[in-house]
Structure 1
Amino acid sequence: MHIVGHGFLARSLEPIAAAHPDTVVLAAGVSWASGTSDTDFARERALVDATARQCAADGRRLLFFSTASTGMYGNARGPGREDEPAEPCTPYGRHKLALEQRVTASGAGHLILRLGHLVGPGQPAHQLLPALLDQVRSGTVRVHRGAARDLIGVADVITVIDRLLAQRLDGEVVNVASGVAVPVERIVDHLERRLGVRTEREYLDSGAQHAISIDKLRRLVPEVADLGFGPDYYRPVLDAFTDAALAGSAPTG
């Protein structure tokens, strides 16, 4: 596996790289769902196009990471599914869907994964969990009223990716998430209990929530039944992240 990128997800993929030598993984680009920089978007488009052209030329498979966030599925009626037309509702979601379409049209063998909110040691400070943990530590948390997010441990994501790549899939789009949207207030509650603190909450009336369908993932990777996905899955995921942060191995902002 040739990994393009050096960040959180790229580092997490290194243990399975040797098992998939004919795959090029794009683990670089815009990773901030609230980011709307035209310059950053253009830079990622150029990277996707160049990498896809190279994969088409030398017969390697391209693994592209898209998003299953609110930006992609926020307008979905019911759980967001890969086999239904997506209606992105943010610039980030529209950008990622357009990149999916460019990958599909490139002629390269490819697999597109729409990821939920990854959680694990060493995440960038701007991502959801490090940002929330920093706010809890500071004593004040901004909560978007009604917001909910699908959290999935990065170790489980790598397990799923390994199984999907082993199947030699081509031209597929797959949601990789836990299938459960956790209210952000409940996430904050859990972080407070874990740290033994109480915070002041500032509520904003701009929250959004959506559900992500993982029916296709369950069909393709039956082993996800052993990963513990369900209403309480997020608790041990948060515990592991918080423990690592407190031990100093998951620096936050």
Structure 2
Amino acid sequence: MEIIGNGFIARHLRPLAHRHPDTVVFAAGVSSAGSLSEEQFAREADLLYSVIRRCTADGRRLVYLSTSSAGMYGARGCRGREDEPVFPGSAYARHKLALEAVLAASRADHLVLRTTHLVGPGQRPHQLLPSLTEQIRGGSVVVHRGAHRDVLDVRDAVAFFDGLLTVAEPRQVINVASGTSVPVEEIVAHIERSLGTVAHKTYRHGAAAYTVSVERLARLQPGVHARVADPAYYRTVIDRYLGSPPPPARAATEGEQR
């Protein structure tokens, strides 16, 4: 497996590299769901275009990591299914959907994996759990009231990726998520319980709950899905994260976004 990128997901995928020699995983995209940077979006698009051309020429399968966040599936009436229309509500999700369309129109053998909020060692500080945890440890946290998040341990995500690259038919879109949308207030409360502290909270308006369908994922990877399907799974994800040693300080490198 060739892995494009050097960020959080890319580093966790490296142990799989020898198992999928005819696969290229594009894991060098914009990492923040709140990003509005046209420059970052353009850089990701240009890099993906070149990788599509290369994979079309040499016949390798290209795996593109998209998003199953609220930005993709949060529109009213959306059921979070891969085979139904979506109406993205964020610039980031619209960007991801546009690149999915480029892939779909190409001749490249490909899979699109719409990943949820992944959690684990080595995350960048702006991402969900590192950000909330640091705020709570500092004594004050901003809570987006009504917002929900589907969280998945990166190690479980890697297990899903490994299985999907073996069994999934090409040219599919597959959600990779737990399937449980958890209120951010509950995530904050569990972090506080685990740390043994209560932070001062500043409340802001957040988006409503959203749904990510994992029917296709569960059918293709029933074993891994069974261990993440418990509605209380998010607590296990948080506890694993808080029990992980902090990564050593390191400088970001070019292309290190995911």
TM-score (norm 2): 0.93
1:141 aligns with 2:141: yes
Aligned positions of 1:24-173 closer than 5 A:
24-167=24-167, 169-173=169-173
Counterpart of 1:234? 234
- Distance, in Å, in 1 between the alignment partners of 2:183 and 2:57 is 45
Q: Which runs of 5+ in 2 are unaligned?
A: 250-258
Deviation at 1:103, TM superposition (A): 1.1
Determine if contact 1:111/1:171 at 8 Å carries over to the other structure: yes
What root-mean-square deviation, in Å, do the aligned CA atoms of Structure 1 and Structure 2 show?
1.5
Partner of 1:220: 220
Alpha-carbon offset, residue 236 of structure 1: 1.0
Measured against aligned partners, the alpha-carbon deviations of 1:16-58 in whole angstroms (never above 9, x if no partner) come to 1100000000010201000010100110110111101100000
CA distance in 2, matches of 1:198, 1:57: 56
Mean Cα deviation higher: 10-19 or 75-84: 75-84
**AA at the equivalent of 2:136:** V
2:224 counterpart SS class: helix
Structure 1 pair 46–14 and aligned structure 2 pair: CA distance change class (3 A) = same
Structure 1, gaps ≥5 residues long: none
Given that 1:76 and 1:86 are in contact with CA atoms closer than 8 Å, whether structure 2 keeps it comes out as no
TM-score in terms of structure 1 length: 0.95
Q: Give the Cα–Cα distance (whole angstroms) in 2 for the partners of residues 250 and 119 of structure 1.
A: 17
Per-residue deviation at 1:206? 3.0
C-alpha distance 40-115 of structure 1, shift in aligned 2 (>3 A): same
Report % sequence identity. 50
> What SS does the corresponding residue of 1:142 show, helix, strand or coil?
strand
Q: Please tell me whether the aligned partners of residues 121 and 250 of structure 1 are also in contact (alpha carbons under 8 angstroms).
A: no
Structure 1 position 198 matched with structure 2 position 198: yes
Q: Which has the higher contact order (CA 8 A, sep 6+)?
A: 2
* Deviations 1:188-220 (CA, angstroms, capped at 9, x unpaired): 111111111110110002333211010111111
> C-alpha distance in 2, partners of 1:126/1:149?
15
Alignment CA distance shift 1:18-1:238 (3 Å): same
CA distance in 2, matches of 1:250, 1:133: 17
Question: Which amino acid in structure 1 is aligned with residue 219 of structure 2?
Answer: R
AA in 1 matched with 2:239:
D
Q: Which amino acid is 2:182 matched to?
A: V
Contact between 2:122 and 2:246, CA under 8 Å: does it hold in 1? no
Range 223-232 or range 108-117, more displaced: 223-232
8 Å CA contact retained: 1:191, 1:238: yes
Poorly superposed stretches of 4+, deviation over 3 Å: none
What amino acid maps onto 2:139 in structure 1?
G
Task: Name the counterpart of 2:246.
Answer: 248
Instruction: Determine the structure 2 residue equivalent to 1:186.
Output: 186
Distance 1:228 1:213 in 2: 14
* Separation in structure 2 between the aligned mates of residue 106 and residue 209 of structure 1, nearest angstrom: 34
Contact in 1 for aligned 2:121/2:246 (Cα 8 Å): no
> Which deviations, in whole Å up to 9, do the C-alpha atoms of 1:154-212 show, x marking residues without a partner?
00101011111011520000000000001101001111111111101100023332110
State the Cα distance separating 1:72 from its structure 2 match. Answer: 0.6
Match of 2:207 in 1: 207
- Letter of the 2:93 partner, please give it: G
Query: What SS is found at the alignment partner of 1:227?
Result: helix
